[in-house]
Structure 1
Amino acid sequence: MSNIEEFPVPARKMSEYDALVAAAPSVLDAIPGAVYLCDHDGWLVRYNKEAANLWGRTPPLEDRRERFCGSHALFLQDGTPLDHEVCPMATAVFTGREVRNAEVVIERPDGSRLVALVNVRALKDDEGRIQGAINCFQDISAHKAMEQEVHRKNTDLEDFFENSAIGLHIVGGDGIIQRANKAELALLGYTAEEYVGRHIAEFHADAPVIGDILHKLSCGEKLDRYPARLCAKDGSIKHVLITSNSRFEDGEFLNTRCFTTDVTDLHEAESARRDSEERLAATYEAATIGIAEADSAGRLLRVNDALCQMLGRSRDELLSMSFFDYTYGDDREEDATLYARQIVGELDNYVLRKRATKPDGSIVYLDIHSSSVRDKVGGFRYGVRIIQDVTAAKQMEDQIRASEQHMRDLLEALPAAIYTTDQAGRITFYNKAAIQMSGRTPQAGDMWCVTWRLFNPDGTPLPHDRCPMAIALREDRPVRGVEAIAERPDGSRVPFIPYPTPLHDGDGHLVGAINMLVDITERKRAESRQKTLIDELNHRVKNMLATVQSLSGQTARYADDLDDFLRRFEDRLLALSRAHDLLTKRHWEDAPLDSLAREVLMPLAGEAAGRIKVHGPPAALNSRTALSLTMALNELATNAIKYGALSSEAGWLSLTWRLRGEAGAQPRIILEWHEHDGPPVRPPTRRGFGTRLMERCIERDLGGEFDLAFEQAGVACRISIPVGLVDA
């Protein structure tokens, strides 16, 4: 047995947590509000009916117990989800700190939500250990909704005051500005510190006006759009309309609430309108051009002095007329048609030149500029007509037009190609001769020259932008002494001399240029012919002298005596002379074979010329061929007259020719000489000079063929010449 005496242990005092756990359920239900209890691990151990009602559910307390809260879900005021492990109950359980008047959002299983005011206190034993915590919470959703509504209204009211488009300010009973919104400050250009706290009279430009305003308000009168002028910070004056009423409390004037409407722009616009009307009225009467207003029927409603003078009628007379009454008869329909279209809105305005009749019967030309004045819905009110007397200008235009037409007719009549350009080189006019010379019609936008292509005299290309006209425009000077060649689209070319000359206005400024293109084709041909003739003359003189020398020598060799020599030599010189005469008449150009034969044969035959028949197709011989053939025909004719067919009364001869061309061979002209019914022919015993002369002329000089036959019926000769030596 122990010798230590055992003393009885005193009964331990029950803690708050234990008491609450041990209490009957009715105790918690008696508490006016939602209450629940968690142990030191946060497990839900007790709750009352109010808590279950607010949660919208009845959490189990045995199996599958819940921690920290019996709600379905928790959220913060901004809607952020709040986990149960960090809710106010969890904070109290884990830290022991109380949570006072915290607000959380509880979501029920059905999705509905409420705002709860939460108060949590940790429950400790005698030794200070946390045994659990109690949470008392209540639904404050209605209170929060009311609070938010009050806040919203205050915010809206504050926003209305601060951000109103109209200036607002509050003035105390002592005239001191208590508050002003942004629009008020912006209107005058002050900051709140510079404006609020100062007497309102400091900002009014007219002391009597602000005195009257304050007096009326202090007496309880309301102001509706009271006009006043305020001084802005930059020194400008603002025209405003003030609408205000007073606030009284217990009969004492506390303050005024004023709306300030800025009408500065409107005031300035109205002033400008009045000034404009005054200026318009002055301008209307002082204008040197006619101004009139007319109704939809054309009746004149208002006219100025200039129009009265222009038409030679008084104001009263014009105001009793329509503008159709003084319009020249042939011009009324056009003006009436255009005015009708303007009235119905098809035309906003129109411009017209017409004639008007003055009381003395004279005619004036008027330029009409008609426009409309319409109401807000687009209806026609009246027409405004600006009228200018252009009679003198019309006469001058007619004169200028006649002068221009005369100049155009003159330029068109000129045989030389004429065209003009503007300052940039664009072609503005060309005559028919320019079209004929260039072989084309210039197109819009063509520059510098009417020609298709240009070449220098040496055949090198000449770009249009470097042609004489381009140089004349760029250097502002006439260009002379140059030649060029124009190529037509068909490939033919025309040599010409240009005469580009700049044109200037009255002030000496370059406005364009005129160019004349002189076709020098004939001159070039004449120069070519002249050179050819000179060359040919030199050659022919040498040949002729050589021929004469040969003729004299050979004639002398075969002559019987001096008389025979002189006669034969003279005949041959005359034949040569006749050929030269024929070629000289034709400027040493091609000689017709038919004419050549007759010029040679007929003078020699004399009375027997009618017994010579010449026939053949048209053919032209160059000068060299003509001379050689002349000598041959002269010898044949001389022989026929002396010994052949023409030596008798019955004999006759024929000279015919034809052109022959064979494949692969050079074309030739064939001449055939036949004598008929003359004395019997006996072949010569020796070859005379005449035969040699003919062979040399045909075969050596012309490269042809010569065949002479002394047939008994008559002499026959066949001459063949390459066709390259003749032109058909």
Structure 2
Amino acid sequence: MSNIEEFPAAARRLTEFEALTAAAPSVFDAVPGAVYLCDQDGWLVRYNAEAAELWGQTPPVGDKRPRFCGSHALFLPDGTPLAHDVCPMATAVFAGTSTRNAEVVMERADGSRFTALVNIRALKDHEGKIQGAINCFQDISGHKELEETIRQKNADLEDFFENSAIGLHIVGGDGIIQRANKAELALLGYTAEEYVGRHIVEFHVDAPVIGDILHKLSCGENLDRYPARLRAKDGSIKQVQITSNSRFEEGKFISTRCFTTDVTDLREAETARRESDERLTATYDAATIGIAEADKDGRLLRVNDTLCRMLGRSREELLNMTFFDYTQEEDQKEDGALYARQMAGEINNYALRKRATRPDGSTVYLDVYSSSVLDAEGSFRYGVRVLQDVTAAKRMEDRIRESEQHLRDLLEALPAAVYTTDAIGRITFFNNAAVEMSGRTPEIGDMWCVTWRLYNTDGTLLPHDQCPMAVALKENRPVRGAEAIAERPDGRRIPFIPYPTPLHDADGKLIGAINMLVDITERKQAENRQRLLIDELNHRVKNTLATVQSLAIQTARQAESLEDFSLRFEARLLALSRAHDLLTRRNWEGVSLDTLTREVLTALADNAGRQVEINGPFVDLDPRTALNVTMVLNELATNAIKYGALSSEAGTLALTWRLEAGSDLKPRLILEWRERGGPPVAPPIRRGTGSRLMERAIERDLGGHFDLAFEPSGVVCRMSFSAAGGPA
């Protein structure tokens, strides 16, 4: 007889379809996505839990099983109904055609819909005959909503460009007009076909001006209200101001974005005002101020033509009046009192502003300068009164004052901190938001910044005379892209972005600056939270992989066969998965011991509610402790179901715990597992993988104590470890 043992013939190699239909349900559920399998006739054969959840139903796989898809109804992305027998799965089953990244709308029985990204492949046997097909799909409704949001934003940007109230055009690096909005075309009277595609130089009246504009933009300079003249289609000249910046890619000048503001009417008004001023100046050169002489009673003795015109009265009328007669009643008292002091010699002259009434009832504001003419003895003879009509100036002052107040009210209403300085850097204004942000009320005249103390983003001290506002004033340029940290007197620190911008007068002279401080505390906090979440995710993934690796190694060492290894390893992975599910529902913030124990035992033992007693105070376990306790309970429960108390209906299991004070002032959890009424128990001949796994989980991973006893009445396990979560 030969000593050589015959090996059986090699088993027939399974096809892909056969391997998938023979796989355990947990294999399908472990797939990260929705997946289902159809046979060669399109009948639904297998699907995982995620597919059922997305379908909103659990379709049968028996005689009444559906064909091609488990959804209630199918639609194309445009909403067109899609019959199941012509869907991509039907095409794959009947024609062997694969589908990659196709979009299909699935409808649930309750009417809700979602967009699915499907990937379908036909499954063939070893001879190439189609045995079925597999579909892996996922819900991409969120991505579709994001695409719609982006599309809407693009539409809004397009609407902003086309329908902006101000002219806007885009010029390429070669000077060719690429786009122009409606306001731009309406300003010059061209159609898009007449304007777009032509060189911008063709529409500028002054060649040196457009040459300078293109040169500045090609050098990266920004234009702010640059004056220019454009030629309209009807031949008229439009006075405009151009505000523009450039777009560069890899250092190459690509295009410019130009806002065109029509200031033709404003320039004409300025021209008219300038001509009027010139005429008025010429008139002043020929005694343009009103001059009058008045006696002790204020009666007018002499007047010039200018005063007559100023007051709208003839010389004869004025010479029969006192200056009190045309002065409004509210101003008579002041003028009379000062004139009396002047006649008495108490003052030599005085000046005041008063209101006079013209015959038509209109009011004229007059700046009056009164001086005395004395006789040889030094006594008062008469007063010389020089009058200037300042009505326009007064109204301008009122408008400026109203404008300044309006600007202050506007700045006060802004939610961001805003303040202004003079050219030296002394603070001239700040709003309430600046007070709230800085935690103090600055003093007018403080230098550079309203904040109490400043720091760079790396935590180093930032002197106020080196802050962005100081740089903007010293270098006479806006500062952008800087970040700083403001410290309040109460110690709180606020990260912010400053926007200091110099202010200039009509001649371009620096007169001060305005700065807006934007609080970015919430943005920084969001960035920190995101960074912490990513770090936590990396940490947990590494820990999970290490745990799976350890389970695989320990299970493999004691496995009697590949099938034995597969069963044991799958059971332990499912236990780890259940713990992960519990923690995921709690956002990885821990889970109560009572919830964990009931979840593990209910999942393993059908009669757990009748045979198992669970009792103990509320204890909240952190994620690390929960994972280890789950693994231990799974091993104990699996052994009890196979060989112990839960293997017979007469057996019972008592799982109890209590809290005790530990030596390190932290509470310790004492957990006891006791089986009774099962088959007789005898100590095992050799120490198995499960015992070592449980011991490692409690003693090494949790730093606790683990004691497993095989008493005749049943297995007793005692374990203790620090309850980091503690009682709730």
TM-score range, shorter chain: 0.3 to 0.5
- Please, what TM-score do these two structures have when normalized by structure 2? 0.45
- Please, what TM-score do these two structures have when normalized by structure 1? 0.45
